[in-house]
Chain A
């Protein structure tokens, strides 16, 4: 399992640095080789309203990976769906394909359609495999009631993303935690709306959080840095603005898997999550002690 690694802007440039760190640690542990793409740029999602720019940015990154004869793997659902859409478009429209490759040729780059895009969650669950993962679990996550939060772009449009819509539920089971029936599982977190309408965005995030709590979760797992940002980094602000108490730790799936595999929480950068994971870790420790006695 060797891929060109595309963390994206949030994970790769600081705001979700803990996602990137835990992804690298997990990948190393599972024998998934991640190769840096030194010249990788933004995937294009933020400028999707300018179609030509969006497509060129996406395809240039694909071309960089293709030059190394590797598929691309990302931890961001936004990047993931953009690359999938761009690949489809390059396949479906030969004229557009020629124009984009014409521009890329001035940089000695070309995208022939060989490089594909994978989401790391999919690679872990399907390439490494759930059965194999189960065998690697050292500290089953007993005591955790995890709301599997898929967000929008991991699952929709389904003919583009082609991700099993119970992938997180299955993963949580294998890790020994309880996966709760979370009604808002793939309802929007509001992230992409932050700049356009901050109030609407925060209301969406608030609803995702309060509903997770209502559905019985004591933590949430995400597969997208923007979803994580809205539920974790914005949680205190949401509590203040809406006068609600939430107190739900939000983990990147890489952190959740890492914990179950017995990786030190510090290596998974749990202390960089905004909502404290201390109580959650204590729950895990006491559940583990009970299990051993």
Chain B
């Protein structure tokens, strides 16, 4: 796994007993994960990945390898699956038609089913449910708190001066319908 600076930490060797051989099939049943087993680990995806370029640390080739080996826990708890844009640069370059961008999204869905969800992602979902639109100010407030927001003041001011920052934003018209839909989606399990 990557440490805070994105470097690779010393890891224990994968133990066969802890591997889940079904994981790759589980992923191929998800939307976007269908082609994961075509990967032959050429590394092109990582070579073109803009996120890996600036961060180093974990990369798509490695995550796919771990998934194929059955390292379910490590993959679902990794930071990297939440860092994929997805920009689809890897997708257009992959010689085997594998889309890590879509696999990352599939892995995020699986992770959420286990209750693994970064704070800011929950904040985004809650905000879209509350307002019906993606209110960045509200999300930043939820994620960073008032103290975190203070650091953003100079940045916020240049937007506010240009009439581009709504602090007391309102929900969309008929937001109730969107909220009901959120509940219905949760009940339906789609």
A residues engaging B (CB < 8 A)?
9-10, 12-18, 38-42, 46-53, 55-57, 60, 89, 96, 99-100, 102-104, 106-107, 152-153, 156-158, 187-188, 190, 192-193, 195-197, 200, 203-204, 207, 233-234, 236-237, 271-274
Contact = CB atoms under 8 A, between A and B. Distances in A.
Given A51-B190, A99-B190, A14 B164 contact: yes
27 contacts: A9-B134, A12-B133, A14-B169, A15-B136, A39-B173, A39-B177, A40-B172, A41-B175, A42-B133, A46-B128, A49-B112, A49-B117, A52-B189, A53-B182, A56-B181, A60-B178, A96-B190, A103-B181, A103-B185, A107-B180, A190-B50, A200-B51, A233-B159, A233-B164, A237-B155, A271-B162, A274-B158
Contacts of B133: 9, 12-13, 41-42
Contacts of A40: 172
B87 interface: yes
B54 A39 contact: no
Given A40-B172, A156-B89, A272 B190 contact: no
Contacts of A102: 188
Of B51, B112, B118, B188, most buried by chain A (CB within 10 Å of CB) is B51
A9 B137 CA distance: 12
Nearest to B162: A272
B59 to A, nearest CB: 13
Interface string B80-102: 00110101110110000001000
B149 interface: no
Contacts of B134: 9-10, 13, 42, 46
A168 B152 CA distance: 33
Q: What secondary structure prevails in chain A residues at the interface with B? A: helix
Interface string B160-190: 0011111001001111011011101110111
B126 to A, nearest CB: 10
A18 B135 contact: no
Contacts of A49: 82, 105, 108-109, 112, 117, 121
Contacts of B54: 200, 203-204, 207
Contact of B190 (A17, A47, A100, A187): A100
Given A13-B166, A193-B83, A200-B54, A53 B185 contact: yes
Nearest to A271: B162
A100 B188 CA distance: 9
A183 B173 CA distance: 43
Given A48-B108, A103-B188, 13 more contacts: A14-B169, A15-B164, A41-B128, A41-B133, A49-B117, A52-B190, A56-B190, A104-B181, A187-B50, A188-B50, A196-B118, A204-B54, A233-B159
B135 A195 contact: no
